[in-house]
Amino acid sequence: MLGAVLRLGRGVFLPIVVAALFYFLFAPIVKYLSERRIPTFLSTSIVLLIFIGFCVAGGLFLNTRIVALADAYPRYHARFETLFSSIVSQFDLSPAWWENFNLAPVIGEKLLIFSGFLMGFMTNLILVVFFLIFLLIGAPYFDFKIDKAFSARNAARVREVSRSISSQMSSYLFLQFVLSAATGFFAWAVFSLAGLDFAVTWGALTFLLNFIPNLGSFIAAVPPVLLSLVQFYPDLGPTIFVTVGILVIQQTIGNFITPKVMGDKLNLSPVVILVSLLMWGWLWGVTGAILSVPIASSIKIICDNLAPLKPLGVLMSSGKNFSKAHRQDIS
């Protein structure tokens, strides 16, 4: 029932959740400036102007690239048909197979839908900023309200949970941004060296989708590989170069650099991450998939600090710390 309510009311709940997430990211900055006797209104305005400028610039850039790709799509559609017609004749496949596998019209339609999604994102950004303004204005007074609302012991617990969520979310989002930016940059370099059309677009898409855990990197690799096959066919050299290059980048950053940089900051079980990804992705689409890990991490932090829910927090953890403690006890 809760899932049905969240899905039906996504237009209201999603901006609130996104605003709350950015609140935990920006509130420490506003509090820091407020402690330096900078007016809350001024500090909030500075933070929001930077945030809005970044979002608007990024959204307009992506929308421009997607529209350009959609305009050029008929040319690639013709090459799609030539390529797969050659495959059908070469391997003596039935025409029915080609009709079922012909994804070219569907891809063109999805490009237009994605462009509309970006415009919808810009519209929802207004709601996010609206909620974020009121949250940030009240940020310097949050601790005082907590002290007044709860007993000294419970107030300390609430502040601890809030600071833990804020610290963990800020660290995760910053490191994820840096690693995603590095992945997108190296992917763009590979695409440019191969001479792939719209290399900047695919690099930016790689950067964005890398925020989706596990599945994002795989999804980001499919379009450029398919485009390279269509663009350079019958020469398979560039396609192999693009495929191997993006695979090496994803594996190196995802499996070697990310664990060393992030360590076990989130302390979430891989199963919990996957379930959260599927559930929030089903409820709120791409935005929900991006928010799945921060939401799951926030739930775990709350469970860790509430005695009745602490067993749930333990089950949601990765278990690495418990394994190390167990080995130390044995030794």
165 pLDDT exceeds 70?
A: yes
| Proportion of the chain above pLDDT 70, given as a percent | 79
Say what percent of the chain tops pLDDT 90. 1
Averaged pLDDT of the chain? 77
Q: Is the pLDDT of residue 250 over 70?
A: yes
More confident residue, 43 or 186: 186
Q: What is the pLDDT of residue 88?
A: 62
SS3 118: helix
User: What band does 54 get if pLDDT is binned at 50, 70 and 90?
Assistant: confident
Question: Above 70 in pLDDT, residue 42?
Answer: yes
pLDDT at 315: 83
Question: What is the pTM (predicted TM-score) of this model?
Answer: 0.75
pLDDT of residue 30: 77
Q: Is a pLDDT exceeding 60 seen at residue 116?
A: no
The contacts found for 290-294 with CB under 8 angstroms, 24 or more apart, are: 290/211, 290/212, 291/17, 291/18, 291/21, 292/212, 292/213, 293/172, 293/213, 293/266, 293/268, 294/21, 294/169, 294/172, 294/173
Which residues does 311 contact at the CB level (< 8 Å), separation at least 6? Answer: none
pLDDT at position 106: 54
Tokens standing for residue 25: 């990211």
pLDDT band at 118 (very low <50, low <70, confident <90, very high): low
pLDDT of residue 186: 92
